[in-house]
Structure 1
């Protein structure tokens, strides 16, 4: 084939050169010899999500960890010895004041109460008898006093008559004797009255003792049901129906779960900012989920010299119902708030120890560059502060109203066109 082409097309006297050039022109369309494209195609627009920056609240915070403590918790104990007949509540159940937690069959029985009541009735009758005797003795004394006054008058008259010679000595002696008898009777009656008063006091004491016996006998029946003294959540119940419990034995707890406290040891370098009312956010240490919002209400006046810290106590409402006594939590103390800008961590591109953000704009990134046909992103150096949630605090480099790329930043570079996504 090579020989034929050389002979036919390239022989010096055959006019083959002209025919060879024509042959090449015929082959070019078949071989795709179209040359270079007349117009160069520009870079494709990168799809990104944009976020417009707005003024936010920047926080100066510190984080601590600890365990929640219930504001109020009571231990339920049995006031009597007895056997459990019913446990009408379960662990973790919310109960209100007065709810029955435990029912008991006491050791003391009804006959003991009946005996105490009978003794009290007898003491009551004895008191009434003693009081009647006292009243009678007081009345009898009145009769004796009246008789003594009469004898006193007769004696005085006999004495005058004897002095005048109108009465004999015998008559005077008789009146003197009668007066002496009356005085002796009055003295004896006074002793009887005192004895009767003592008897009344003793009867009163006996009745009081008998009534105390009734009260003691009634105690087991009063404490057959152990009830909740506060609203709260029932703790672990370590007894069951059929178990025997002794007086003073603790069998469960009730925890008021409306509020919880957290003890926080704050370093002394925050002492100037530390005061009641400082806001505290309660966070889940695993997910960083906000559990509650509270504030410091107690600041210890004493510094822990070993740790150089100040003990504080913050209180949190359990509005979500997610807080539990003893729960391990993270507390974020918010020392101050100020207006500023937050930028999502996903929008920051670190490079050589510096941080950059891609800002969307319709003008060229550098002065003198041609105007873009659409929206582009420009790499902007930013100075960042502390992390706040899922964002950085911006110290400088951005302003409210800037539109920044928050996705796909790995595909971006200075001046690349973008296609904003909704």
Structure 2
């Protein structure tokens, strides 16, 4: 009868070169919500696993103590503000209303007078009209006056700098107090801790009746409208991947495939594991998101339409040449030399040697020869 084989009809198709990874679905944006002020929890309005909208009330806080604290802070601001006003006046009037400045001016005038007198004495010394000791005494006196002038000037400047520093400190205190008051007003206005974005509550860290203090974590929220699928990637693959590449993601909870894009690639690899990180942003409806679920990630490296692909089992190689066995009209197969391109999984791209509609053998090709008869075994139906 001939040699047993299986036949394959050539059809042009889209050639997709891709890389696949097993990863995990997580939120690209998560937040630890912390208390901003002190107060007793009246009610916790959410539970772990609840989905919330931006602006939803999460926790109600008793603000009576906060209102009392605000009154105390306002009094403190009034006191500091009064001190700042006084310090600013001192600073503005420092050079125009300071008795020590008149002393400096008198010293400057005295120095100018002594400089003129010293010049006269030097001329008289040259004429032999006065002794050198007289000139030395005048010079010493002038140096003493200049030292006094410099010391007084330093004292004046240090005084101004001190007042300026005091103004800066008080201004900062007023700013900090105003910031605290703004936070208090926001908390008092509704007495609630609210959701900063649409998301899912992943943990609740407090309970009703508990006393909150500023900075204390109360719950965790993860955004479900902004999710990524992450996976570890080998160093060889990392070189092939680029940000913006198309990707497909399926999760373990269903057969639905979601579109995605490569969002992040680590710029380095772990020297111990030789792995880098891949993150793919995934377009998943919020009600279908299962954070922490297993994810199968397929990243498309290239996509070429109208290509000829054949199974790797169809190829027979002799030296540097590759051949397939093409079926002819006489039900025999004949060798056909082909030029191969990329290997995609279990298939090869054919660049030359085959046309759409050609029929080739893809089984037991090592037993086939040029012009041999073949017969095929019908496939069993499922």
> Structure 1 residues 153, 242: CA separation in 2 closer, same or farther (over 3 Å shift)?
farther
Listed as ranges, the gaps of 5+ residues in structure 1 are 1-53, 341-384, 386-395, 398-413, 415-422
Equivalent in 67, 74, 89 of residue 31 of structure 2: 74
8 Å contact 2:249–2:282 — kept in the other structure?
Answer: no
8 Å contact 2:53–2:199 — kept in the other structure?
Answer: yes
CA–CA separation in structure 2 for the residues paired with 1:138 and 1:325 = 79
> Structure 1 residues 149, 92: CA separation in 2 closer, same or farther (over 3 Å shift)?
same
8 Å contact 1:78–1:245 — kept in the other structure?
Answer: yes
Equivalent in 241, 263, 270 of residue 275 of structure 1: 241
CA–CA separation in structure 2 for the residues paired with 1:140 and 1:180 = 19
8 Å contact 1:63–1:330 — kept in the other structure?
Answer: no
Q: Which residue of the partner structure matches residue 331 of structure 1? A: 296
1:75 Cα offset (Å): 2.6
Q: Which residue of the partner structure matches residue 248 of structure 1? A: 215
8 Å contact 2:248–2:260 — kept in the other structure?
Answer: yes
Q: Which residue of the partner structure matches residue 317 of structure 1? A: 282
The answer to whether 1:144 aligns with 2:101 is no
1:288 Cα offset (Å): 0.9
Q: Which residue of the partner structure matches residue 51 of structure 2? A: 92
SS of residue matched to 2:265: strand
8 Å contact 1:291–1:320 — kept in the other structure?
Answer: no
CA–CA separation in structure 2 for the residues paired with 1:89 and 1:71 = 25
> Structure 1 residues 139, 292: CA separation in 2 closer, same or farther (over 3 Å shift)?
same
SS of residue matched to 1:280: strand
Equivalent in 75, 83, 87 of residue 123 of structure 1: 87
CA–CA separation in structure 1 for the residues paired with 2:111 and 2:216 = 65
8 Å contact 2:260–2:283 — kept in the other structure?
Answer: no
- Cα displacement string for residues 125-160 of structure 1 (whole angstroms, at most 9, x for unaligned residues): 443454443654543343223333454466568778
The answer to whether 1:196 aligns with 2:156 is yes
CA–CA separation in structure 1 for the residues paired with 2:297 and 2:119 = 102
8 Å contact 2:14–2:306 — kept in the other structure?
Answer: yes
CA–CA separation in structure 2 for the residues paired with 1:176 and 1:295 = 87
CA–CA separation in structure 2 for the residues paired with 1:187 and 1:273 = 73
8 Å contact 1:66–1:329 — kept in the other structure?
Answer: yes
Equivalent in 83, 86, 98 of residue 39 of structure 2: 83
8 Å contact 1:265–1:310 — kept in the other structure?
Answer: yes
> Structure 1 residues 324, 177: CA separation in 2 closer, same or farther (over 3 Å shift)?
same
- Cα displacement string for residues 50-79 of structure 1 (whole angstroms, at most 9, x for unaligned residues): xxxx98768788876543122233333345
SS of residue matched to 1:95: coil
1:112 Cα offset (Å): 1.6
CA–CA separation in structure 2 for the residues paired with 1:320 and 1:240 = 31
8 Å contact 1:84–1:240 — kept in the other structure?
Answer: no
SS of residue matched to 1:109: helix
Listed as ranges, the gaps of 5+ residues in structure 2 are 1-10, 188-192, 308-345, 347-358, 361-377
8 Å contact 2:200–2:223 — kept in the other structure?
Answer: no
SS of residue matched to 1:148: helix
> Structure 1 residues 267, 124: CA separation in 2 closer, same or farther (over 3 Å shift)?
closer
TM-score (normalised: structure 1):
0.47
> Structure 1 residues 195, 85: CA separation in 2 closer, same or farther (over 3 Å shift)?
farther
TM-score (normalised: structure 2):
0.51
CA–CA separation in structure 2 for the residues paired with 1:113 and 1:281 = 58
8 Å contact 1:293–1:316 — kept in the other structure?
Answer: yes
- Cα displacement string for residues 324-376 of structure 1 (whole angstroms, at most 9, x for unaligned residues): 47241432526687879xxxxxxxxxxxxxxxxxxxxxxxxxxxxxxxxxxxx
8 Å contact 2:25–2:295 — kept in the other structure?
Answer: no
1:187 Cα offset (Å): 4.1
8 Å contact 2:260–2:281 — kept in the other structure?
Answer: yes
Q: Which residue of the partner structure matches residue 112 of structure 1? A: 76
CA–CA separation in structure 1 for the residues paired with 2:238 and 2:75 = 70
Range with bigger deviation, 131-140 or 205-214: 131-140
Structure with bigger gyration radius: 1
Q: Which residue of the partner structure matches residue 220 of structure 1? A: 180
